[in-house]
Amino acid sequence: MRTVFLGPPGAGKGTQAVRLGRERGLPHVSTGDILRSAAASATTLGEQVRGYMEAGDLVPDEVMNAVVEERLRQSDCMDGFLLDGFPRTRPQAEALDRMLADRDRTLDVVVYVDVPQEELVRRLSGRRLCVECGANLNVADLAESAVERCPKCGARLVQRTDDEPETVSNRLEVYEQTTAPLVEYYEQRGLLRRIDGLGTPEDVYRNILAALTPTDE
Ligand code: AMP
């Protein structure tokens, strides 16, 4: 199953893609994760992308296309993958089509996780990550006394620098302008499955399973 997870930042694409990947034995390819780990190290890619990420801007298409092409060439992606965070622009979507066509492949399904803007702001600005166990939490769900420490392991909670308020509003604007038009791009090709992204992660996962048909597999 060659799948794209599409949706605004904060929609929960990552959480859902990780789970579906685990259950289907498919690699979760998150461009945000690839770039964050490059940015944290002294690689050329890291140097190239750090500024864009900190501002909540998109990394240029040529850089992204090369990153994804290299990743999809790895052997674990041969039988399918769950792409999360790519494509984000029309040229990226066309580049993905070409990468797959070069191998006589096509995309099977696009899972579009739809969440209203007010909820995205709430989720992104309240998101905290545990430095030890990687837990992903929202301050709105924690008691006031617990917002500094992970309730699972007690380690420190941090905020992604691109979840700070000005960057959040820029990321949402960039999404609306540049990425949202891909909904129509994939809808016209009959690949889009629109998923209600409100509710618990469990509810959303159920919606995704219900929307996938045997021909998507
Ligand atoms: P994410 O974790 O998917 O929200 O990505 C974090 C940041 O990485 C984004 O705000 C962009 O700066 C960059 N990024 C990730 N994927 C892409 C992409 N496909 N195109 C351009 N920039 C990207």
What does pTM read for this prediction?
Answer: 0.89
- pLDDT of 68 reads 98
Do 35 and 59 form a contact (C-beta atoms < 8 A)?
A: yes
Task: Please give the number of the atom of ligand 1 that sits closest to the Cα of 92.
Answer: 19
- pLDDT of 120 reads 92
Cα(104) to centroid(ligand 1), Å: 27
Q: What do you get for the CA distance between the two ends of the chain, in Å?
A: 5
Cα(145) to centroid(ligand 1), Å: 32
Residue 99: count of CB within 10 angstroms of its CB: 15
- pLDDT of 166 reads 84
* Confidence bin at 215 (pLDDT 50/70/90): low
Write out pLDDT tens, residues 57-103.
999 999 999 999 999 999 999 999 999 999 999 999 999 999 999 99
DSSP label of 65: H
Say if residue 193's pLDDT is above 80.
Answer: yes
Do 94 and 15 form a contact (C-beta atoms < 8 A)?
A: no
Task: Please give the number of the atom of ligand 1 that sits closest to the Cα of 30.
Answer: 3
Average pLDDT in the 50-58 region?
91
Say if residue 19's pLDDT is above 80.
Answer: yes
Residues with CB under 6 A from ligand 1: 9, 31-32, 35, 52-53, 56-59, 64, 85-86, 88, 92, 162, 171
Cα(95) to centroid(ligand 1), Å: 16
Residue among 15, 16, 28, 58 to mutate when testing ligand 1 (max atoms within 8 A of CB): 58
In whole angstroms, how far apart are CA 35 and each of 41, 66, 105? Answer: 10, 12, 26
Sketch out the chain's domains with CATH numbers: 2-116+165-216 (3.40.50.300)
Encoded tokens for 94: 């066309």
Nearest CA to ligand 1 atom 1: 32
Q: What is the pairing mode between strands 192-196 and 136-138?
A: unpaired
Please say if 127 is a catalytic residue: yes
Say which residue, 143 or 52, is predicted with more confidence: 52
Q: How far apart are CA 171 and CA 165, in angstroms?
A: 10
Catalytic pick from 2, 71, 123, 127?
127
- Let me know if 101 is exposed, middle or buried by CB neighbors in 10 A (0-12, 13-18, 19+): exposed
Say if residue 53's pLDDT is above 70.
Answer: yes
Write out pLDDT tens, residues 135-186.
888 888 877 777 789 989 999 999 988 888 888 889 999 999 999 999 999 9
Contacts of 110 (CB under 8 A, 6+ apart): 3, 4, 5, 6, 186, 191, 192, 193
Please name the amino acid found at residue 11: A
